[in-house]
Structure 1
Amino acid sequence: MPWNPSEIPDQSGRVAVITGANSGIGFKAARHLAAKGATVIMACRNLEKARAARARLPADANVRIVELDLGSQASVKKAAEEILAEYPRLDLLLNNAGIMWLEEGRTEDGFERQFGINHLGHFTLTALLLPALRDVAGSRIVTVSSIAHRAGRIHFDNIHLDGQYGRQRAYAQAKLANLMFAVELDRRLQRAGAQTRSLACHPGIASTNLAGPGIAEETPLGIGRVVRWLWPLMTQSAEKAPGRHSMPPPPHRRRAATTTAPPALKKPSARHGKHARAATPWIRKRDSVSGRCRRASPGNIFRELTGRPQGLH
């Protein structure tokens, strides 16, 4: 039976951080959570667009805007510090923002752009905000992945795809990293007895502006304009994309939510099992100095890249 936003329980007293909340799925999530009484922190790169999005929400909604550029580790750290200074307790982190199919580029820190923004930015943000989530009953970290992860492979020996860049290849790698991170984080949280659950979701093909720039760049002879015109006809609305399990449960169900989950959330589905299971084993990584292979976990490699998150053990 299709899910609809009317099923969201009362969110009064809860605090939600949503990246990319100025448009698409992020904006719809912000609107519905605010309407249910949640305090919503819109973490956005473009403050002008964020303010315009805020103006479309009810004036009495409890909404706060925080500047966040996921392509800058310094910006991620600053945003996390600003959030924690005002909200030492968080109920929901929705890692939603992202880019898709853009031409090759680098972030401020030198990371391949799609991997740096879609994954590493959220990796650092999650680690820095985790202390405010970990002990909150019913709290959740929801990372938006994509069915595109099925085509992905993590190129550990060439994580920035130097000389091998492809728009779809880079996007699929980033979305697989999102999924691996979400699954492994949930495993570690459960092992540590934390209150928080880490979930990943595929929102379906939603009618948002995510794919627009990439389609326009990649398709020749004006085909991109045709695809962009047909896009809303081929996709579901952004409102239908977020699933019910991305919302914190009502108070009377909080205890159950910390120990149980719907069957689909307890472990990765068989359809993408081989990719999600790759989150746990150690990987062979060649040392750039000695040339020898050494064992390293995905989490340790991502920590080496970002140099910051110490909250994920």
Structure 2
Amino acid sequence: MTGANSGLGLATAREFARAGAHVVLAVRNTDKGEAAAASIAGSTEVRRLDLADLASVRRFADKWDRPIDILVNNAGLTSRTLGHTVDGFEMHMGTNHFGHFALTQHVLPLITDRIIVLASLAHRRTTMDLSDLGWDRRTYTWLAAYGQSKLANLLFASELQRRLTESRSPVKVVAAHPGWATTGLNLDDDVPVFERVMTAVGDRVVAQSPEAGAWPTLFAATADIAGGSYVGPDGRFETRGHPTLVGRSSEASDPELARRLWEVSERATST
């Protein structure tokens, strides 16, 4: 599980371990990963993985030597300022999508059961511009950039499932989103005071806990549902509630866009 040292990832990891699974926390900061693992009652392991560095992704995959029952592409990053990964990608797209795309491609032959891809309600707030994934021509806004990376996650999940089905693989790909969960993801130090206040109010009034936010991921990983499904909370506007199958935007359902993004991703990650 990527990003398993805090928030949704940690809550999900705890439940997997409680159910008897051996959970591998794939994290950028191994000190934080070890501290998180120490808080989990069950079998855990910490390995370094920096999704913003394709060389790190490759090293992680090259050292992996056993089957993976469930891969959870959970890690998510937000940045209010335009930044770039080690490989020169816009930070959201490079970390949230390209990093997970490369990781999945590298370890795919070892996956035996299911791949979970974490998306977001934010995928509905933007559009995909394959000619400007780095925001070189468009005016950068962090929410649109984050949303584009989450839209990419959904397109990746659907195209990967199509390819697996075509090859008669038994592996399923299921996407999930946590609704609005209090994970700390949106509380960067450079956020204006007003936005921090509004986020804090929203967290108290609308949001659900990281434990409840993890329910869609756990449902996606264990329920008897079809590959290609999308899971989210059943409450109004999908911000909170129990896990259920949910819809996605028309752009996230576009098979031709998914195919084109796949081709761009293969070239970008050399996978």
Range of TM-score over shorter length: 0.7 to 0.9
Structure 1 gap ranges (5+)? 1-17, 250-256, 284-295
Per the alignment, residue 45 of structure 1 pairs with 28
Query: Equivalents in 1 of 2:132, 2:109: separation in Å?
Result: 32
Instruction: Provide the aligned C-alpha RMSD in A.
Output: 2.3
Task: Output the amino acid matched with 1:116.
Answer: G
Structure 1 residues 191 and 273: alpha-carbon distance in aligned structure 2, compared to 1, 3 A threshold: farther
Q: TM-score, normalised by structure 1?
A: 0.75
Of residues 85, 88, 107 in structure 2, which corresponds to 1:129? 107
Query: Equivalents in 2 of 1:208, 1:31: separation in Å?
Result: 15
Structure 2 gap ranges (5+)? 232-244
Deviation at 1:225, TM superposition (A): 4.1
Query: Equivalents in 2 of 1:264, 1:300: separation in Å?
Result: 22
Structure 1 residues 23 and 282: alpha-carbon distance in aligned structure 2, compared to 1, 3 A threshold: closer
Most deviating of 155-164 and 119-128 = 155-164
Task: Render the CA deviation track for 1:242-294: whole Å, top value 9, x for unaligned.
Answer: 32432236xxxxxxx5xx6299659xx8953511232x2169xxxxxxxxxxx
Contact 2:67 2:110 in 1 (8 A): yes
Task: Output the amino acid matched with 1:175.
Answer: K
Of residues 189, 204, 222 in structure 1, which corresponds to 2:164? 189
Per the alignment, residue 100 of structure 1 pairs with 78
Task: Render the CA deviation track for 1:178-200: whole Å, top value 9, x for unaligned.
Answer: 01001111121112111111111
| 1:236 matches 2:208 | yes
Most deviating of 118-127 and 228-237 = 228-237
Per the alignment, residue 277 of structure 1 pairs with 253
Query: Equivalents in 2 of 1:79, 1:298: separation in Å?
Result: 24
Task: Output the amino acid matched with 2:131.
Answer: D
- Write out aligned runs for 1:108-119 (5 A): 108-119=86-97
Contact 2:174 2:229 in 1 (8 A): no
Deviation at 1:54, TM superposition (A): 1.2
Structure 1 residues 47 and 148: alpha-carbon distance in aligned structure 2, compared to 1, 3 A threshold: same
Per the alignment, residue 242 of structure 2 pairs with none
Task: Render the CA deviation track for 1:71-102: whole Å, top value 9, x for unaligned.
Answer: 000001111122x22xx211111111011243
Query: Equivalents in 1 of 2:124, 2:264: separation in Å?
Result: 21
Task: Output the amino acid matched with 1:261.
Answer: A
Query: Equivalents in 1 of 2:62, 2:126: separation in Å?
Result: 33
| 1:162 matches 2:162 | no
Query: Equivalents in 1 of 2:175, 2:48: separation in Å?
Result: 24
Contact 1:115 1:170 in 2 (8 A): yes
**Secondary structure, aligned partner of 2:190:** helix
Per the alignment, residue 226 of structure 2 pairs with 261
Task: Output the amino acid matched with 1:305.
Answer: A
Structure 1 residues 264 and 199: alpha-carbon distance in aligned structure 2, compared to 1, 3 A threshold: closer
Task: Output the amino acid matched with 1:299.
Answer: W
Per the alignment, residue 8 of structure 1 pairs with none
Contact 1:26 1:96 in 2 (8 A): yes
Contact 1:91 1:248 in 2 (8 A): no
Per the alignment, residue 125 of structure 2 pairs with 151
Per the alignment, residue 10 of structure 1 pairs with none
Of residues 14, 20, 45 in structure 1, which corresponds to 2:3? 20
Structure 1 residues 264 and 183: alpha-carbon distance in aligned structure 2, compared to 1, 3 A threshold: closer
Deviation at 1:212, TM superposition (A): 1.1
Aligned length: 254
**Secondary structure, aligned partner of 2:175:** strand
Query: Equivalents in 2 of 1:172, 1:37: separation in Å?
Result: 34
Q: TM-score, normalised by structure 2?
A: 0.86
**Secondary structure, aligned partner of 1:187:** helix
**Secondary structure, aligned partner of 1:212:** coil
Contact 1:92 1:248 in 2 (8 A): no
Per the alignment, residue 239 of structure 2 pairs with none
